[in-house]
A and B are shown apart, each in its own frame.
Chain A
Amino acid sequence: MKYDIILAGVGGQGILSIAFVIDNAALAEGLFFKQAEVHGMSQRGGAVQSHLRLADGHIYSDLIPIGQADMILSVEPLETLRYFEFLKPDGAVVSSSTPYTNISDYPVLEEVFREIKKAPVHVLIDSEKLAREAGSIRAQNMVMLGAASIFLPLKEDSLKKYIEVLFEKRGTQIVQTNLRAFDLGRQAARG
């Protein structure tokens, strides 16, 4: 078994938190993983991505080859498209539909959606609305993780356990908000 994921978003949206949860859940389930991330200058409101690879055996490359990703998981719709070439022809796109418009030449949103829908398997989630419903607009990353969880080769409980671990220092209220965000994302993806 191997499962390759491109995580995408804008610096500050918390894609490394998504990675933390998946990494640790994978390790707890006895899987191998490698996860290449972006630090430094790009984190300042720029495009950020992380290559996250899961397998039941040794993983060599930290980077996913073109055309081999099983999933693009993105917290921002334009960022979803940036990594399309990494996706397998039958790979899944799990994308937020909430744009992050910190650039002046952001394309027409409907056109972005139209492109995303060209992927044979795609799920578009209004992460802002669901995060707000869960209690914090900052929880959009966990909404998206919840949506992706229906495809991931990981148990729902393992993922939730590490959401708790990730947020426990910030108090029970924030843990609950993020768990709710995960649930709402998961429900929305099931449709």
Chain B
Amino acid sequence: MEKIVLLGDEAVALAAVQAGLTAAYSYPGTPASEIMEYLIRNSDGGRKYTAKWCVNEKVACEEALGVSFAGKRALVSFKHVGLNVAADPFINSAITGANGGLVVVVADDPGMHSSQDEQDSRYHADFARILCLEPASHQEAYDMTREAFDLSEKFRLPVMIRLVTRLAHSRSSVQTSAAREQNKDLPYGTWQDWTLLPGNARRRFRILLDRQNDLQEYSENTGYNQLVLNPAAGRRGVVVSGIAYNYFKEVAASLPAEPSYLKISTYPFPGAKLRRLVEQVDELLVIEEGYPFIERFLRGVTGIPGKLIRGKMDGSLPASGELTPDLVARALGLPERIGLKTGDFRLANRPPQLCVGCPHADTYKALNEALRDFPRPVVFSDIGCYTLGALPPYNAIQTCVCMGASVSMAKGGAEAGIHPSVAVIGDSTFAHSGLTPLLDAVFSNSDLTVIILDNGTVAMTGAQPSFGTGEPLDRLLAGLGVDPNHLRVIVPLPRNHQENVKVIKEELSHHGLSVIIARRECIQIVGEKKRS
């Protein structure tokens, strides 16, 4: 088959299509968005298979589970923190088990390029007790995703693919293989397996526990977990997983001899292979992207008598941030390489910023002015481009925690005496996780002002469609029970500044719930429309 240029994300997406995908679901989030972008682009308008953005990750995961119940193959993808949102259906899908192949792709973001933490999804897979595959290359991302669907149907469990930013957003060529048809004849799931009443759930959990041996056996035997013994290189060995393997291979060529190593690509990890490596060496360096997941298991409480274990827990490698070939080289004892120096020239930083003409900028200017007369106002914010309002020249927000938290935190803050307590949230984030806390605030008529920044799109991740924008958003808010007298719409433009300040001030001084919609289309979308 042909060799084609793909992002790591796209290699996963294409593999799913060629594995006989019936439906895929996702919510945008860096570095996972390009999986769904690719799927939608190549779905022939949904005629080949279903590929849809969903209102949030929990919904996406449940829709995929419904497809699996129906006996068809399903993919759900999101970033690592998206898995937190989907944790409920995800964990319980291991109890129901999969019928049609169910593959959960999670893209972790070590180094926090575009995220609020660098949590390691291998823990989630371990927690759910399902198989996790961790590709090191584009080809593996493709091959493993193809295989993941087969494994899911073989073990009757969801399978996780763990990606990291460097693979998700790296481009290379991939050799594809012949496409497989979608499932045709698989019967629906049975109610005894899928209705998790305690009696059924206990039986299902027993089945999940019993299946662990099969998963372990797969992991011991798969060719992806490669044990290479080289006794001539001495009594020092290396355990590598995922893309850490690439850095190891890159720099190990500079060593006098390549040390014995085990490349781990599947979890539960291959214990027998690991023991064989341990027997061969006195010193073991564990190199993994993310948390010291394997290293912690290896060390246990007491370590391995007579063996020195090195990795992220003893400082041989940094405990946070992304790995690089240079960090791995240093851990292997190679001399530091020196590049060209800029001497003591001071490099000014260039942080990301709101675009010129961005509607959020006008909203923040008006909000800052409206808040000026209050001694201790707090603006709770949320996740999106508008989080950049934390930086100069705006310095407009004090929090950003997780999707939807602005509204709930503002309510909690108001109940602790903060006034004015303001929530600032984008339209898509509001649809994702802001509706339920707003309902909570309506119910108790909390003293807070919610500003919904309605720019009509999911701007930060590349302009995906928003579920809560425009006139339907107005109706939604009215339907939730927001008092029409305190449901206001402003148009954030420089020429409306004074008027917008006035509207915001009025609602800030209202002791009850107010919702202000700041509505103007994202400037990137306006530009894109002009160009096309």
Which of A's residues lie within 8 Å of B, judged by CB?
A: 10-11, 19, 23-24, 27, 32-47, 59-69, 78-79, 81-82, 84-89, 91, 102-103, 105-107, 111, 115, 118-119, 170
Residue contact A43 to B250, C-beta cutoff 8 Å: no
Which of B's residues lie within 8 Å of A, judged by CB?
A: 3, 5, 30-31, 33-34, 113-114, 166-167, 169-173, 243, 245-247, 249-251, 324-326, 329, 336-343, 345-355, 385, 388, 460-462, 531
Residue contact A35 to B339, C-beta cutoff 8 Å: no
Given contacts A40-B113, A45-B355, contact A63 B345 (CB under 8 A): no
Residue contact B173 to A32, C-beta cutoff 8 Å: yes
Residue contact A118 to B352, C-beta cutoff 8 Å: no
Chain B contacts for A105, CB-based, 8 A? 348
Residue contact B166 to A63, C-beta cutoff 8 Å: yes
Residue contact B340 to A46, C-beta cutoff 8 Å: no
When the two chains form the complex, which single residue of A19, A36, A78, A115 contacts B343, counting CB atoms closer than 8 Å?
A: A115
Chain B contacts for A119, CB-based, 8 A? 340
Residue contact A63 to B324, C-beta cutoff 8 Å: yes
For A43, the closest partner residue in chain B by CB is: B352
Bound: A65/B330 CA distance, A: 12
Q: How many A-B residue pairs have CB under 8 A?
A: 155
For A64, the closest partner residue in chain B by CB is: B325
| Residue of A27, A39, A47, A103 with most partner-chain B CB within 10 A | A39
Given contacts A102-B353, A115-B343, contact A41 B30 (CB under 8 A): yes
Chain B contacts for A24, CB-based, 8 A? 5
Given contacts A65-B250, A66-B338, A103-B350, contact A81 B171 (CB under 8 A): no
Bound: A170/B243 CA distance, A: 37
Query: Interface residues of A: mostly helix, strand, loop or mixed?
Result: mixed
Residue contact B171 to A27, C-beta cutoff 8 Å: no
Given contacts A33-B173, A63-B324, A106-B348, contact A40 B354 (CB under 8 A): no
Nearest CB of B to A187, in Å: 27
Residue contact B341 to A85, C-beta cutoff 8 Å: yes
For B353, the closest partner residue in chain A by CB is: A45
Residue contact A11 to B352, C-beta cutoff 8 Å: yes
Residue contact A44 to B388, C-beta cutoff 8 Å: yes
Given contacts A35-B172, A43-B352, A79-B350, contact A84 B324 (CB under 8 A): no
Nearest CB of A to B301, in Å: 35
Given contacts A66-B326, A85-B340, A111-B345, contact A34 B350 (CB under 8 A): no
Residue contact A46 to B326, C-beta cutoff 8 Å: no
For A37, the closest partner residue in chain B by CB is: B169
Chain A contacts for B243, CB-based, 8 A? 62
Bound: A81/B3 CA distance, A: 36
Chain A contacts for B462, CB-based, 8 A? 39
Nearest CB of B to A68, in Å: 7
For A24, the closest partner residue in chain B by CB is: B5
Given contacts A39-B34, A115-B342, contact A61 B325 (CB under 8 A): yes
When the two chains form the complex, which single residue of A34, A42, A44, A106 contacts B172, counting CB atoms closer than 8 Å?
A: A34
Given contacts A40-B460, A42-B113, contact A67 B338 (CB under 8 A): yes
Nearest CB of A to B160, in Å: 22
When the two chains form the complex, which single residue of B343, B352, B460 contacts A45, counting CB atoms closer than 8 Å?
A: B352
Bound: A7/B250 CA distance, A: 20
Task: Contacts A32-B173, A61-B249, A89-B340 known; list 8 others, CB within 8 Å.
Answer: A34-B172, A41-B352, A46-B351, A65-B329, A69-B339, A81-B345, A85-B339, A85-B340
Residue contact B348 to A78, C-beta cutoff 8 Å: yes
Residue contact A103 to B348, C-beta cutoff 8 Å: yes
Residue contact B169 to A39, C-beta cutoff 8 Å: yes
When the two chains form the complex, which single residue of A65, A87, A102 contacts B350, counting CB atoms closer than 8 Å?
A: A102
Chain A contacts for B339, CB-based, 8 A? 66-69, 84-89
Bound: A46/B352 CA distance, A: 4
When the two chains form the complex, which single residue of A11, A42, A86, A91 contacts B114, counting CB atoms closer than 8 Å?
A: A42
Chain B contacts for A45, CB-based, 8 A? 350, 352-355
Residue contact B337 to A66, C-beta cutoff 8 Å: yes
Residue contact A78 to B326, C-beta cutoff 8 Å: no
Nearest CB of B to A123, in Å: 15
Bound: A107/B3 CA distance, A: 45
Residue contact B352 to A42, C-beta cutoff 8 Å: yes
Chain A contacts for B324, CB-based, 8 A? 63, 65
Bound: A105/B460 CA distance, A: 25
When the two chains form the complex, which single residue of A46, A87, A106 contacts B353, counting CB atoms closer than 8 Å?
A: A46
Residue contact A62 to B340, C-beta cutoff 8 Å: no
Chain B contacts for A38, CB-based, 8 A? 113, 169
Residue contact A62 to B346, C-beta cutoff 8 Å: no
Bound: A66/B33 CA distance, A: 30
Residue contact B31 to A40, C-beta cutoff 8 Å: yes
Bound: A47/B351 CA distance, A: 7
Q: What are the nearest 9 A-B pairs in CB distance?
A: A40-B30, A46-B352, A40-B114, A67-B339, A85-B339, A61-B250, A67-B337, A44-B352, A60-B249
When the two chains form the complex, which single residue of A27, A36, A65, A107 contacts B348, counting CB atoms closer than 8 Å?
A: A107
